[in-house]
Chains A and B, each alone.
Chain A
């Protein structure tokens, strides 16, 4: 991937109408039989050589999960996944960890090349440390040494359990408890791996930490678990990008992301989500049921930025619990749905501390026959004096068969709070397109231009390289959607 994205690149990309990252890499996997019960959980735990306390946690979550029912309040329709027909563990055949880049399976290198994140280039050009996850086990971690010098821990979740059990024990499940919701409980029971990141007191992470997730083995759900802890006064920017190969059966993705931002710390979490959305007829695609939540202590800040273009069904509400006084929560989102995609996404801002403030900017774009819903919650508790919230949710409709919905929940129990919410829904003005066409820009390009301008507010909050990729994704997702 180069940093400059030219018009020719766009033209080339536009020719690839179908999902560009749809391929399956063919390497040996270690997969356990389908089904879910306590034995499977014990098996996962033993395969990963986990300590007893983690197994206990898993079993506790599993038992809670069995008492829960799948939520159906979201504005989405999909065949309910059969949880007994999923294999809950899949790891690439090799068990040994790579010492250097040369040791990596060539096929895997090829996979990464297709994804446009060639390690060498990434390392050389952008100075980004990549923790690349194929299915559930991390296979490559770079820049570890440099991060190590600063005391920053950035590793796979399993490694963290092995090497830093005290940190994992202390923070895991504090933001998203295993009883939180159906999918969080499922994840807590069967999660296979994920990322762990700890920034020590007062350290400003010098580079953007990024993880590329990828579902690879057919029929395996991916249950990632991410835990980012920013200790007092630290700063980190974390990137998460998703692509998945083309599949006909639906795949389930139920991740849990927990962020802990201690006093005066700041976490910036950016996501590009581009799981396989299903084909033009709505066949296949990933079910993306994610629980993402961050906890802010005093003067802390958490900022979520997301570009969602993939998945057949998305169900995702990155949230901030503003517990400490003067803490800040932000949410910037672009959600694009095309063909038969369905998205129910938004943010929750829970204000507990004094002088807390939050901002929600959500841009929805619906094309084809897709349904795109914003669902958000702003909750001001009685203790949150002078809390402040501003929410803006705009929806753009690109076809007369698509839908855009807004379901904001605003709950205020403190009179000193100031809450503003506004939302608009409309299509691109014909006069705007006419204006562009008049100047020799064809309608397809004109729409790209307008959409980009519409999303700028969100994309501006992303790190440079990510923003470029996101912009490219937007163009590809909306290709041929206007008629």
Chain B
């Protein structure tokens, strides 16, 4: 297809390699991109997140190799799939013997099946860029009634200056299967790069998927992730999103619950310093009855950082007996930090119990005084209180090896001990 450089999006993608094979998904994405523009803050979904500055830059698609030793998680004992600048690096990856899962390249994902799953879901300009110019990614199948023997670790590394990483993944949980995915994002000697990742999945009936996502890229990276999961009846989905890195982060997370008796859980912790901007944008769409969902996001903002939370729960007509809970709590550690919170409920059924809460405040002076009166220094007191505050989100990460890794990260980055 001939691209005409008449708008910013086309200008932005003009240097990207045109995909070799034009698959249906790519074609659709390319077509859709034609008429699109980057969102401004006048677009409701992007009200608090300004991307203009970042999309003016040009990013390069560079296949590279990187030293990932620093980023492997000790004792995680996982299938490790490594992506450098969005390219799948098989030589760095290790796939263990496991009869429960099969790992394919994303190209092997059946397009008919995929279109059927994502039918009717919303796309944004970034997910479309990803789908049109994806450079690599995997399609994981977890087999019927099997439990993956090892966690599956998606290890993303940025290497080099001003690179773009367009990785696209799909996780297919067959009926009754169970698996844990660990997705980590790092940057290695990388400046001003752009991670534009798409992670999607289908959790079939009675299956259970847990995702732990840890993003600790350099504080000059532009990070956009689009995550979409579709749940069938009696399935479980849990995602924990921990964000400490990147200059500008936008975590877009959507769960469409397409069956009864499902449970959906989203937890998030975001810790910003300097001029970081962290946006968590979530949607849970309840289409059927008897489901529960719980959402808890906690932010600690320091320096001149900005935290954004925009969570939405939709309960469709006739989706009765839904219990949905949503909470967003924020602590501001400095005068110049700010938080914008927008928890939303859209309810079209009557027999529901939905609630949400949002708080913003600083550390309790009385609590600090109490600790100091017992000989604890101001810094330690602060650290203790912050640890207590976000600790309950981190506790949702049940994988001990990963939890140890997260604790180390906090110790190194913030000097906080848990």
Contact = CB atoms under 8 A, between A and B. Distances in A.
Interface of A: 73, 380, 382, 395, 397-427
Nearest to B363: A415
A421 B343 contact: yes
Interface string B322-365: 00000000101111111111111111111111111111111000
B360 A419 contact: yes
Contacts of A412: 330, 332, 338-341, 360
B98 interface: no
Contact of A411 (B320, B337, B338, B352): B338
A412 B341 CA distance: 8
Interface string B137-169: 000000000000000000000000000000000
B345 A400 contact: no
B111 interface: no
Given A398-B350, A426-B352, A427-B352, A408 B318 contact: no
Contacts of A415: 332-335, 337, 362
Contacts of A398: 350
A412 B329 CA distance: 12
Given A415-B334, A417-B362, 9 more contacts: A403-B346, A405-B345, A408-B342, A408-B358, A412-B332, A420-B357, A421-B343, A423-B355, A427-B350
B34 interface: no
A413 B338 contact: yes
B331 to A, nearest CB: 9
B342 A407 contact: yes
Nearest to B318: A400
Contacts of B339: 410-412
A402 B317 CA distance: 9
B350 A402 contact: yes
A403 to B, nearest CB: 4
Contacts of A425: 345, 347, 352-355
Interface of B: 44, 48, 317-318, 320, 330, 332-362
Contact of B355 (A401, A405, A420, A424): A424
Given A416-B362, A418-B360, A423-B355, A405 B333 contact: no
Given A408-B358, A412-B340, A426-B353, A401 B345 contact: no
29 contacts: A395-B347, A397-B352, A400-B349, A406-B343, A406-B345, A408-B344, A410-B342, A410-B360, A412-B332, A412-B360, A413-B338, A414-B332, A414-B335, A415-B333, A415-B334, A415-B362, A416-B335, A417-B360, A417-B361, A418-B359, A418-B360, A418-B362, A419-B361, A421-B343, A421-B357, A423-B345, A424-B353, A425-B345, A426-B352
Nearest to B354: A425
A427 B351 CA distance: 6
Contacts of A418: 359-362
B87 to A, nearest CB: 40
A410 B340 CA distance: 5
Contacts of B350: 397-400, 402, 427
A409 B333 CA distance: 21
Contacts of B344: 405-408
B147 to A, nearest CB: 37
**Residue of B318, B320, B353 with highest tally of chain A CB at under 10 A:** B353
Contacts of B348: 402-403
Contacts of A403: 346-348
A380 B341 CA distance: 12
Contact of B359 (A395, A400, A409, A419): A419
Contacts of B352: 397, 425-427
A413 B340 CA distance: 9
A401 B340 contact: no
A268 B320 CA distance: 40
A424 B358 contact: no
Contacts of B351: 400, 427
A97 B347 CA distance: 51
Contacts of A407: 342, 344
B342 A409 contact: yes
B280 to A, nearest CB: 14
B320 A408 contact: no
A426 B361 CA distance: 28
Nearest to B333: A415
A51 B44 CA distance: 42
Contacts of B356: 406, 421-423
A144 to B, nearest CB: 47
B342 to A, nearest CB: 5
A410 B327 CA distance: 13
Contacts of B336: 382
B368 to A, nearest CB: 14
Contacts of A73: 44
A427 B315 CA distance: 14
A425 B340 CA distance: 23
Contacts of A422: 355-358
B360 A408 contact: no
A425 B322 CA distance: 11
Contacts of A420: 357-359
**Residue of B317, B318, B320, B355 with highest tally of chain A CB at under 10 A:** B355
A395 B346 CA distance: 11
Contacts of A424: 353-355
A325 B228 CA distance: 46
A66 B362 CA distance: 45
B353 A401 contact: no
A452 to B, nearest CB: 19
A397 B361 contact: no
A418 B331 CA distance: 10
Nearest to A391: B358
The 7 A-B residue pairs whose C-beta atoms are closest, nearest first, are: A415-B332, A397-B350, A410-B341, A413-B338, A424-B355, A419-B360, A422-B357
Contacts of A401: 317
A352 to B, nearest CB: 15
Contact of B317 (A400, A406, A411, A426): A400
Contacts of B353: 424-426
Nearest to A403: B348
A277 to B, nearest CB: 20
A408 B343 contact: yes
Contacts of A380: 360
Contact of A426 (B354, B357, B360, B362): B354
A421 B359 contact: yes
Contacts of B357: 420-423
Nearest to A428: B350
**Residue of B333, B340, B345 with highest tally of chain A CB at under 10 A:** B345
Contacts of B354: 424-426
Nearest to A425: B354
A382 B306 CA distance: 13
A420 to B, nearest CB: 5
B253 to A, nearest CB: 19
B80 to A, nearest CB: 40
A320 B367 CA distance: 33
A414 B346 CA distance: 29
Nearest to B364: A418
A357 B333 CA distance: 21
Contacts of B342: 407-410
Contacts of A426: 352-354
A398 B347 CA distance: 12
A406 B337 CA distance: 26
Contacts of B349: 397, 400
A388 to B, nearest CB: 10
A416 B335 CA distance: 8
A413 B307 CA distance: 10
B347 A397 contact: yes
A211 to B, nearest CB: 35
Nearest to A406: B345
Contacts of A382: 335-336
